Amino acid sequence: MTTAIVTGATSGIGRAVAELLHSQQFHVIGTSRDASSISDPVPGVEYRDLDLTDSASIRTFADGLRDIDVDVLVNNAGESQCGPLEELPMDAVNRLFQLNVFGAIELIQCVLPGMRERRRGTIVNVGSMLASFPLAYRSSYAATKAALNGFSTAARYELKPFGIDITTVEPGSIDTGLSARRTKYCGPHSP
């Protein structure tokens, strides 16, 4: 059976992708920061804990995949933030890059050896059209998605000889609930 990992598989795009892959007979491993708290899991999807802001969590997750051939990785987990550039706290910007970019890259590094050994694999990074068409007050989020796109484009050339495809999809505005969860930084006396 073909195995796919879908990060952030509890809502929005990740949930829809997990449902679709399961309906296509994939063994789907969905991730959540706390899999035990999922109130409405996708039937048939195996959920595991993964916090992409924590390298130890990523290593623990990867260690749990040692006997599994991962064929597809969908890096979907992410968060959004907005606010005027001068009011974005650097610790929040760093956390956003860790989750949306660095954690995804670290997870890719974990699954690549097996894909390379089998000479096949597909990696899909879920970006955003804001990477190509940025909006004011969304600079940090747009930057993370642009970084993920640039990473995927460059990595495609080095992975292709090993039969591994890596790509980024850039969806537009989709009602996934992400906007409602977006962290907003704008003080009461903001210019």
Active site residue 185: no
In 3D space, the residue among 124, 123, 132, 135 whose CA is nearest the CA of residue 179 turns out to be 135
- Supply 172's token pair: 């537009």
Region of residue 121 (phi > 0: left; psi between -120 and 50: alpha; otherwise: beta): left
> From the centroid of its chain, how far is CA 125?
6
Dihedral Cα 79, 85, 87, 89, nearest 10 deg: 50
State the catalytic residue, choosing from 47, 137, 141, 185.
141
Helix 90-97 with 139-159: angle, nearest 10 deg: 30
In 3D space, the residue among 57, 2, 48 whose CA is nearest the CA of residue 25 turns out to be 2
Catalytic residues: 141
